[in-house]
Chain A
Amino acid sequence: MSNFTDLFPAVSSNNVLEMICGIGDGRTVHGVTNSYTMGTASAIELTTSYQDMQGSSIDYILPDGANYVHYEYIVKWAARDYSGICNWRLYFDGYEVNSAFVSNASSFGSSNHGHHLVYINWVFDLTVSTTDYTDGKILKSDWTGAKNIKVMAREHTSTYDARAHWTTWRDGSTSGYPFLDVPLLTVTAYS
């Protein structure tokens, strides 16, 4: 016999349909109807070519009734040379969401002390009548099945080298560095 609430499902008590949240350690996170496996991050050196950011990629399937999807990737960035100027691009299904592009850096200086979090953030609008990848506006009929969302990053030049998922100092020492600073990915679907 079925559950009563399977026969008479409750109306949604708010507009949050599901939230997928996990750190980049290879874990599997279960959503309302699908499961997602996070990437596995390690402390890395960036280059002057864009590379996929570990822990940022998800092949996301929309829950029924979704009108907006908020993608949030929190990544630790560290300067290696001078200010460590860095560029971050967001991609949806292989298309760059240009409006979500950010650059970051620390103050210019000869000590590579700049370490901070970078927030890559976008709200995909699914209520539009035509798809505009540049602005992250996606017609629902163009988001069927799993669509990949990911972040790619590069350093500005080899004079301003940068690192990701990286911590140099811990507990008063640099012994044993680099330490992994694991990224966090959150995807929330709203009605």
Chain B
Amino acid sequence: MIFRKVLILIPAYNEEANIATTIANIKKFTKGKGWDILVVDDGSKDKTYLKAKKCEVIVVRHPFNMGYGVAIQTGYKFAIDGGYDILVQIDADGQHDPKYIPKMINTLRREKLDVVIGSRFRKKTDYHAPFMRRLGMILFSLIVSAVTRRKVTDSTSGYQVIDKKVLNFLSSDSFPCDYPDADLLIMLYFAGFKVDEIPMKMYENKTGKSMHGSLIKNFYYVMKMSLSILTIVLRKVTGLPSF
């Protein structure tokens, strides 16, 4: 098998309670493989940066908080600079089980896919999201499935394995930095990339923290995502490049 350079990207914001455990869990599955781990500290106000540094991984830090999308895009740019072949994106809060990383990478290679997404809903699991969030997830998954004509069950999953040929696309200014999920999947589909999901178990966030936290944020998310999807489809219909 040809050796491929793999980067595991962990975007983190105020995750001092979880970051060390998350990195330790990831290291269990990457031991001896020569894969690099990158933590992008998105201008945390707590000790996330110092705690991640102690874990002997690569840590970069935004001078101030820029949001989840910008943090992962910094990771994509780092991966391009470092010449990585595969990027694994995993959340810092411990929701994503790193045991799936080898399986996801194997699926990416075997099926010759460009992006593999870990789905909470592909198979029945005991994952419980709050009602409104679950409703939003179902709604946007249905929209993405309808547009891409492929079954998408978890359009908001941040657990992804990405091939290097997608990284340049994701590093462009058209990358939706606000909430890169359902709209990004449609963009990837229009750009001709092959995306698929694999079923997996995810854990609920013990701290209860989420980027879709308050009612206002949920409302903003639904409006922003709907507008983003609409404009992507409109660009496609009117013959403008979608990215």
Q: Do A and B come from one complex?
A: no
Interface set of A (CB-CB < 8 Å, partner B)? none
